Amino acid sequence: GREWHLVARPHGWPKPEDFELRETEIPEPGDGQILVRNIHLSVDPYMRGRMNDVKSYTPPYELGKPMLGGAVGEVVASGSDAFAAGDHVLHGLGWREYALVDADAAVKVSADVAPLSTYLGVLGMPGLTAYAGLLEVASFKEGDAVFVSGAAGAVGSQVGQIAKLKGASRVIGSAGSDDKVKLLVEEYGFDAAFNYKDGPVAEQLKQAAPDGIDVYFDNVGGEHLEAAISSLNVHGRVAVCGMISIYNATEPTPAPRNLAAVIAKRLRIQGLLVADHRGLQEQFVQEVGAWVRSGELKYRETVVEGIDNTLDAFLGMLRGENTGKMIVTLGA
């Protein structure tokens, strides 16, 4: 099977030379292991951070070793009583065609309950991030006005819709294309949306939220965070989920220049890691699963085909080529 290896640590934007698609032998599962043929691979923004050799909440990818990431696949051989050939599983050994997975590290999923790709998106890690970030970290309550950046992406599109479904007074989103902006308002029910490439974010946000915002769900950082601080009302809350605008920066980026406003407005700015919120998993699957089934919560996926195109899919996602979750499909 083929698998992607990191062979050099990227400086700035990752380059194709930093990676290699290598052919390896398909192994046999030992005791307590399963051999999985991957069907869908996830490419996520956090993977950029793991390409750097810095201590973080997940260890860096090792040079010359296969990359890691979420994946859904089919068990083709099992050395574990818990799994049989034909079972579908979610696991963490993506970026490859075949994965030898410890049975303890695999979770059974069912294509009868939901399409397999959704376990990487709307019903998976990004979905839980949106749900927990809004409800637990941003302490969302009915009547709040919510602004979310990266609003047409996997996490952001769900944040805005969950806020609407839970009684937000106003939901505003920003995204990087006019088509995405249209989708937010016309399909996802956002009250207002703007293209951040059209002009200063602070001005566009003021226009979209004349009465200010109570919650900012940050996927982007930089200019967006500064604009949100200036539009936040007293006792506003910020869930800092991601700062994708600076993931490829080679120089330290300017802090929000208006940070002192935190004092007078008594703002709370809190980081969020989805791994801290596994306790919400069951409630999330029940509530969001029901909304997805009823059609009240909509989602999109951008699907790229073939293991060869995994790196392009990852880079394309960083450039905004995806609407909703970016998925690489290897074929059922």
- Residue 149 CB, shortest distance to ligand NDP, in Å, is 6
Structure token pair of residue 27? 């192994």
Q: How many residues belong to the site for ligand NDP (CB under 6 A)?
A: 30
Structure token pair of residue 217? 């769900």
Tell me which of 33, 204, 245, 329 binds ligand NDP, using CB under 6 A: 245
Contact letters (x/-) for ligand NDP, 269-308, by CB under 6 A? Answer: ---xxx----------------------------------
Site for ligand NDP contains 69 (CB under 6 A)? no
Of the candidates 110, 112, 115, 133, which has an alpha carbon nearest to the alpha carbon of residue 238?
133
Of the CA atoms within 13 Å of residue 291, those in its CB half-sphere come to 21
Tell me which of 220, 229, 238, 267 binds ligand NDP, using CB under 6 A: 220
Of 77-85, 149-157, 209-217, 283-291, the segment contacting ligand NDP by CB under 6 A is 149-157
Say how far apart CA 193 and CA 279 lie, in whole Å: 32
- Residue 183 CB, shortest distance to ligand NDP, in Å, is 11
Taking a C-beta distance cutoff of 8 angstroms, is the pair 202, 230 a contact? yes
Site for ligand NDP contains 36 (CB under 6 A)? no
Interface residues for ligand NDP in 116-135 (CB under 6 A)?
Answer: 126, 129
Of the CA atoms within 13 Å of residue 206, those in its CB half-sphere come to 8
155: exposed, middle or buried (C-beta count within 10 Å: 0-12, 13-18, 19+)?
A: buried
AA identity, residue 133: G
Site for ligand NDP contains 1 (CB under 6 A)? no
| Residue 33 vs residues 30, 77, 115, 250, 324: alpha-carbon distances, Å | 5, 9, 25, 41, 33
Of 15-23, 83-91, 138-146, 268-276, the segment contacting ligand NDP by CB under 6 A is 268-276
Site for ligand NDP contains 45 (CB under 6 A)? yes
Say how far apart CA 205 and CA 148 lie, in whole Å: 11
Of the candidates 28, 110, 41, which has an alpha carbon nearest to the alpha carbon of residue 77?
28
Q: Which is nearer to ligand NDP, 161 or 245 (CB)?
A: 245
Q: Can you list the alpha helix ranges (DSSP code H) found in 198-309?
A: 201-208, 223-231, 261-265, 281-294
Site for ligand NDP contains 156 (CB under 6 A)? yes
Site for ligand NDP contains 92 (CB under 6 A)? no
Tell me which of 89, 155, 184, 297 binds ligand NDP, using CB under 6 A: 155
- Residue 328 CB, shortest distance to ligand NDP, in Å, is 13
User: Which residues of the shown chain bind ligand NDP in the complex (CB under 6 A)?
Assistant: 44-46, 126, 129, 150, 152-156, 175-177, 180, 196, 219-220, 241-242, 244-245, 272-274, 317-318, 320, 322, 325
